[in-house]
Amino acid sequence: MAEEVILLDCWCSMYGMRARIALAEKGVKYEYKEEDLNNKSPLLLEMNPIHKKVPVLIHNGKSICESLVIVQYIDEVWKGNGPLIPSDPYEKAQAWFWSDYMGNTVHEYAVKIWATKGEEQEQAVKDYLGGLKLIEGVLGDKPYFGGENFGFLDISLIGFYSWFLAYETFGKFSVEKECPKLILWVKRCLERDSVSKTLPDSEKVCEFAYEFGVE
């Protein structure tokens, strides 16, 4: 049976990037459908009626929602190019934990950099950099988060890089200055086609962030 794989996504969603990178790593052919988040498609509302959010993976008519769940699904359904998720239970637990930490806690600090000013923004910058430094500590001196190979936690984290410039511009700070090893890891990831072809231009994200800023 011919497979039908569709991804409902938005170009600047770091959660969507997780799905796109995983699909690219596995060499899965799929139809990409860009969503206008101000005017969501009937297909998105049908396929993710609970949260109405991207990304949604539709595989032969069945929808899979929530970015980490999608990456897990992709890893299990398409076995090509080896597993993305660590097989060791403890490493797997760590990868889920830090993926969740970046996608929720640290992302909330980032949104505050975008949405606030003055002292509140200064605190958000401190919190955000604190979160990134913790994550940099998890990387340590390894080339990738899982060790020698690019995997689940790298996929979960790398999309957030495309918003660094926007946050840096809003909050007047430099991630590279504070977390140089993290930026070396970013550069290593960007050498992979799956990442470089997925991540949008940081300048474009920055323009988007200004346009849709909450000021």
Q: How far is the CB of 64 from its own copies (least distance, A)?
A: 5
Q: Restricting to residues 9-48, which ones interact with its own copies according to CB under 8 A?
A: none
Tell which one of 7, 64, 182, 205 touches its own copies (CB under 8 A).
Answer: 64
Considering beta carbons, is residue 96 or 144 the nearer one to its own copies? 96
> Binding to its own copies by residue 5, rule CB under 8 A?
no
Q: How far is the CB of 128 from its own copies (least distance, A)?
A: 14
Considering beta carbons, is residue 50 or 191 the nearer one to its own copies? 50
User: In whole angstroms, what is the distance from residue 9 CA to residue 105 CA?
Assistant: 22
Q: What is the total residue count of the chain? A: 215
Q: Restricting to residues 116-135, which ones interact with its own copies according to CB under 8 A?
A: 134
In sequence order, the 6+-apart residues with CB closer than 8 A to the CB of 97 are none
SS (H, E, C) the chain: CCCCEEEEECCCCHHHHHHHHHHHHHCCCCEEEECCCCCCCHHHHHHCCCCCCCCEEEECCEEEECHHHHHHHHHHHCCCCCCCCCCCHHHHHHHHHHHHHHHHHHHHHHHHHHHCCHHHHHHHHHHHHHHHHHHHHHHCCCCECCECCCCHHHHHHHHHHHHHHHHHHHHCCCHHHHCHHHHHHHHHHHCCHHHHCCCCCHHHHHHHHHHCCCC
Q: Which stretch binds its own copies (CB under 8 A): 34-42, 66-74, 164-172, 185-193?
A: 66-74
Tell which one of 45, 46, 81, 97 touches its own copies (CB under 8 A).
Answer: 97
Tell which one of 24, 65, 132, 179 touches its own copies (CB under 8 A).
Answer: 65
Q: How far is the CB of 69 from its own copies (least distance, A)?
A: 5
> Binding to its own copies by residue 107, rule CB under 8 A?
no
> Binding to its own copies by residue 100, rule CB under 8 A?
yes
Per CB under 8 A, residues contacting its own copies are 50-51, 59, 62, 64-66, 68-70, 72-73, 76-77, 89-90, 92-93, 96-97, 100-101, 105, 134
